[in-house]
Amino acid sequence: MSLYFETSCESLNKYNEELCGDKVEIIKNDRETIIVLSDGLGSGVKANILASLTSKIVVSMLKEGADIVDVVETIASTLPICNERLVAYSTFTILRMFDNGDAYIAEYDNPDIVILRNGKPLRLDKTETVIAGKTIKESTLRLQPDDICVVFSDGAVHAGVGKLLNLGWQHANIVEFLERSYKKDISAYAVQKLLLTACDSLYMHTPGDDTTVVVCKLRTPVVAHVMVGPPVNKEDDEAVVNELLRAEGKKIVCGGTTSQIVSRLSGRSLEVSLNYISPDVPPIAKIEGIDLVTEGIITLGKALEHIKCYQDGQVGRENAFNYRKDGASRLAQMLIEQCTGAEFVVGRALNPAHQNTGLPINLSLKLRLVTEIARYLRMLQKQVTVRYI
């Protein structure tokens, strides 16, 4: 089974610097995911340029099939020389993962990568190779579902130097912190945020070095099958409902009329809750075998707001849904945190309840909401399809 790579990254700029001297490049295709973290020499503009050039060269060459020797030699001959230190380099970590779990790691002068399996760090067998005068540490392994790969720049191990810690936050301390923070269902974003926030606290919110954290969590693909609205042709109802019931992954039904159709054709009772958890979101319902049953337009609109907020990152993610239990929050949580992709089946039948001209609700609004939700989920690197019936 192909694995899904859930990634999250964020940086702290050195205090009083507008540009970050670290750079992350992530590229994905159907077969592999490549993550490159580069740390430019020094800080500020020069470091940013060095890191940007390095990460872009590495990821572009690897994507085209170049080996690590060609990559390092190209970097050594391409980067400009620093007038102060008379060297031209930026450190880097390369993590290349294939959809079957095979992984290749190359590290040059960055802190060692940490890979957690069941909350415990893996010991990697590394070989050292000298290329263009640079010692590259290489390793290969087979990754498994729920493994968490954590890559960070040396700003993390320097956190607290001269302030809360005399010698900074040592690599062993970071590993111990990651072990303590581990939970089986923790997301890549949560790990990244916990580690970077800890670094910021040790720096007392005035970072003495650029600090970047990249996290990748391997997940077994889980697709959300979302039925929104009844088909135009009533004779298609049964086929669509049967398709939903047979689907693997999460099953979601949005819309009052839609849920009644699913209940009638499946022979399963529809239990509507009268508990308004949130005053501006209609209550959810229950159908046996369906993971989530919600109202339609209003819930979709509120869920879109949560997904937008989450996609904005940082504070927006923390406040996106706050793990509330209303239909919109649960829909957003399920699509973002529990699923690696989504398949929307959108019915184009006109809902009689929406024909009142006094209501700002119509078919085009439903289609726009689904289109926007799909767009934002794709921005979160989810695999999304939308089918109209």
Lowest-pLDDT range of 3-7, 155-159, 354-358: 354-358
Residue with more model confidence, 355 or 243? 243
* Cα–Cα distance list, 285 to 28, 119, 169, 387 (Å): 37, 36, 49, 24
> In the chain, what are the domain boundaries?
4-219, 223-388
Would the pLDDT of 217 be above 60?
yes
Would the pLDDT of 313 be above 70?
no
pTM of the complete model? 0.81
Would the pLDDT of 131 be above 90?
no
Residue with more model confidence, 76 or 271? 271
* Cα–Cα distance list, 175 to 122, 233, 234, 287 (Å): 11, 58, 58, 44
Angstrom distance (rounded) from CA 40 to CA 185: 34
Structure tokens at 6: 């859930």
Would the pLDDT of 270 be above 60?
yes
pLDDT of residue 359: 46
pLDDT of residue 360: 45
CATH topology of domain 4-219: Phosphatase 2c; domain 1 (3.60.40)
Over residues 27-73, the pLDDT tens digits come to: 887 788 999 999 988 778 888 888 998 899 998 898 888 888 888 88
Of the candidates 171, 170, 173, 178, which has an alpha carbon nearest to the alpha carbon of residue 121?
A: 178
pLDDT of residue 97: 95
> Which amino acid is present at 166?
N
> Rg for the chain (alpha carbons), in Å?
24
